[in-house]
């Protein structure tokens, strides 16, 4: 095997030797040739030289071209995913080196390709065998992938490459997907279909902030929901059952109190007062439990309507006045007159009353309590601000939990049930909003409620 350079050099030497030998031969025979044939001999010599030159160049060029062609074909085959047979070794050193590096590249690519295929298969079978349904949608709203756990009632089998508007017949799911894809946002939804309850989570898959595709995960929550409904039903029935005897205990205690005409300082009077206080508390707990249970199962008749916040707060002031005056506190509301929002009036009143009542309970005498409302582009922001005892950082995270009280005694004395903030949180959530708290011990607390502006009923 020689290098290309030495092969060209060798061929040229060979060519030169032939030319020189033939030239010398002609020089020798020239004396024996008749003068009229000398020109012919010279022309023949020129033609002979040209033929030899052409032959030599052709041989060199064709040997290289042939090798290059087979290398080009091999790279095209690799490009098309066909790793086929290896390139044969060439007589030319450089081409032989090139062929062997292409061969090793082809081998390596083939191995990587096989590995990739194995990984792909593993991933595919993992996705296919997941308990949860998984589907992917392209940016032009076509199903890219669906596994076998997707309920047929949501996405029929073999819907790949078809548009979601053609294959998904469930209107709720279709609207949800279209809305979230149009706005490029993630979300989740619960869907009732043929006695099943499914939860669908929807995410956008991004690289460099560009959405590549959308992924959906479907989980069958029928059993879970049934269990939760049974539990809620139990809480509701238990609360109803408890309410009747407690109310009658309260009634009997009140009758006894009025009939016995006891001295204010007597032990009996103290007992009866304790019975009345505790029955009141039990009634409040039972009522709060019922409210939470209804809010959680969304059985509560959530009836949003266009509410003028200013008017709602003004009506509330009369209710608030009673307990505010008891502690010589002041209540001021700073609400712009034209804030309208889409809300359930009764529930929103309940939410604000709970916050104002807490502000009063956990503030000293003569302290001010403020309600301030504002709006931003997307939300109505309502703040209830007090200068009371505040809440330390360790407790702040847990105060929205049911029955969580920072100071049980204080809460009890203030008539608290430990359920008020849990109800507040649920009501805000039911309106599509949230509630947060900012507090400094011994300086005061601010509860902030964010309720979304309903685009159908814009703030005017
Ligand atoms: P409660 O009926 O005990 O007031 P809540 O759920 O309304 O129950 O509140 C939970 C706990 O959060 C209260 O027990 C109290 O410790 C704390 N808390 C609520 N509001 C305030 C406030 N404005 N200032 C200080 N602490 C508060």
The answer as to whether 333 is a domain residue is: yes
84 versus 361: the higher-pLDDT residue is: 361
**Cα–Cα distance, 196 to 221 (Å, whole number):** 8
- Overall average pLDDT of the 377-406 stretch: 94
**Residue that is written with structure tokens 């509330």 in the block:** 316
pLDDT digits (tens, 9 = 90+) for 28-58: 888 888 888 888 888 888 998 899 889 888 8
CATH number at residue 376: 3.30.565.10
State the pLDDT at residue 457. Answer: 44
Q: Are residues 389 and 429 in the same domain?
A: yes
Cα(411) to centroid(ligand 1), Å: 7
> Which residues have CB under 6 Å of ligand 1?
358-359, 362, 386, 388-391, 399, 404-407, 411, 416-422, 445
The answer as to whether 42 is a domain residue is: yes
Phi, psi of 188 (to 5 degrees): -140, 160
Cα(355) to centroid(ligand 1), Å: 9
158-167 b/e (C-beta count within 10 Å ≥ 16 → b): ebeeeebeeb
Q: Are residues 396 and 418 in the same domain?
A: yes
The answer as to whether 124 is a domain residue is: no
CATH number at residue 161: 3.30.450.20
pLDDT digits (tens, 9 = 90+) for 141-186: 999 999 999 999 999 999 999 999 999 999 999 999 999 999 988 9
Cα(194) to centroid(ligand 1), Å: 43
pLDDT at 299 over 60: no
pTM for the whole thing?
0.64
Cα(399) to centroid(ligand 1), Å: 7
Cα(325) to centroid(ligand 1), Å: 20
The count of domains in the chain is 4
Q: Are residues 27 and 85 in the same domain?
A: yes
| CA-nearest residue, atom 8 of ligand 1 | 418
Which atom of ligand 1 is least distant from the CA of 388?
A: 24
pLDDT digits (tens, 9 = 90+) for 174-224: 999 999 999 988 999 999 998 999 999 999 999 988 999 999 999 999 999
Cα(373) to centroid(ligand 1), Å: 21
Which atom of ligand 1 is least distant from the CA of 423?
A: 6
341, 454 in Cβ contact below 8 A? yes
Per the DSSP assignment, residues forming a β-bridge with 373 are 382
Query: What are the CA-CA distances from residue 129 to residues 120, 125, 437, 445 (Å)?
Result: 14, 6, 44, 51
The answer as to whether 121 is a domain residue is: no
The answer as to whether 207 is a domain residue is: yes
Which atom of ligand 1 is least distant from the CA of 447?
A: 23
The model's confidence at residue 409, banded by pLDDT at 50, 70 and 90, is confident
| CA-nearest residue, atom 18 of ligand 1 | 358
The residue range of the domain holding 76 is 4-111
**Cα–Cα distance, 86 to 73 (Å, whole number):** 12
302, 430 in Cβ contact below 8 A? yes
Q: Are residues 183 and 197 in the same domain?
A: yes
Q: Contacts for 381-385 with beta carbons within 8 Å, 24 or more apart?
A: 381/448, 381/449, 381/450, 382/309, 382/352, 382/448, 382/449, 382/451, 383/446, 383/447, 383/448, 383/449, 384/352, 384/355, 384/356, 384/359, 384/446, 384/447, 384/449, 385/359, 385/444, 385/445, 385/446
The answer as to whether 200 is a domain residue is: yes
């Amino acid at each position: 095997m020689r290098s290309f350079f030495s092969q060209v050099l060798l061929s040229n030497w060979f060519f030169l030797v032939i030319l020189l030998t033939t030239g010398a031969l002609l020089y020798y025979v020239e004396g024996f040739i008749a003068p009229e044939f000398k020109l012919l001999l010279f022309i023949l010599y020129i033609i002979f030289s040209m033929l030899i030159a052409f032959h030599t160049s052709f041989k060199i060029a064709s040997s290289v071209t042939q090798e290059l062609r087979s290398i080009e074909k091999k790279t095209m085959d690799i490009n098309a995913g066909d790793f086929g047979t290896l390139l044969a070794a060439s007589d030319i050193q450089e081409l032989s080196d090139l062929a062997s590096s292409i061969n090793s590249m082809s081998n390596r690519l083939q191995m990587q390709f096989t590995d990739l295929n194995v990984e792909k298969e593993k991933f595919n079978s993992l996705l296919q065998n997941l308990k949860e349904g998984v589907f992917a949608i392209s940016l032009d709203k076509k199903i890219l992938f669906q596994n076998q756990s997707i309920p047929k009632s949501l996405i029929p089998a073999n819907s790949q490459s078809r548009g979601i508007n053609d294959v998904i017949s469930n209107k709720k799911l279709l609207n949800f997907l279209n809305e979230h894809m149009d706005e490029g946002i993630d979300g989740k939804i619960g869907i009732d279909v043929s006695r099943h309850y499914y939860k669908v989570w929807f995410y956008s898959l991004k690289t460099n902030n560009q959405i590549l595709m959308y992924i959906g995960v479907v989980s069958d929550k029928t059993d879970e929901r049934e269990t939760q409904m049974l539990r809620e039903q139990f809480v509701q029935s238990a609360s109803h059952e408890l309410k009747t005897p407690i109310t009658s205990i309260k009634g009997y205690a009140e009758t006894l109190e009025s009939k016995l005409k006891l001295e204010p300082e007597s032990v009996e009077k103290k007992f009866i007062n304790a019975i009345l206080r505790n029955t009141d508390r039990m009634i409040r707990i039972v009522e709060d439990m019922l409210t939470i249970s209804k809010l959680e199962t969304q059985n509560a008749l959530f009836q949003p309507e266009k509410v003028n916040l200013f008017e709602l707060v003004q009506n509330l002031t009369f209710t608030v006045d009673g307990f505010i005056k008891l502690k010589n506190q002041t209540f001021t509301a700073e609400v712009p007159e034209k804030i309208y929002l889409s809300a359930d009036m009764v529930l929103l009143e309940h939410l604000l009353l709970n916050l104002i009542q807490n502000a009063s309970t956990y503030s000293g005498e003569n302290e001010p309590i403020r309600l301030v409302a504002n709006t931003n582009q997307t939300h109505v922001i309502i703040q209830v601000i007090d200068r009371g005892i505040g809440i330390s950082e360790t407790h702040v995270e847990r105060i929205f939990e049911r029955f969580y009280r920072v100071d049980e005694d204080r809460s009890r004395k203030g008539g608290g049930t430990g359920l008020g903030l849990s109800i507040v949180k649920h009501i805000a959530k039911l309106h599509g909003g949230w509630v947060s708290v900012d507090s400094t011990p011994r300086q005061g607390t601010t509860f902030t409620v964010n309720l979304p502006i309903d685009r159908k009923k814009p703030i005017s």
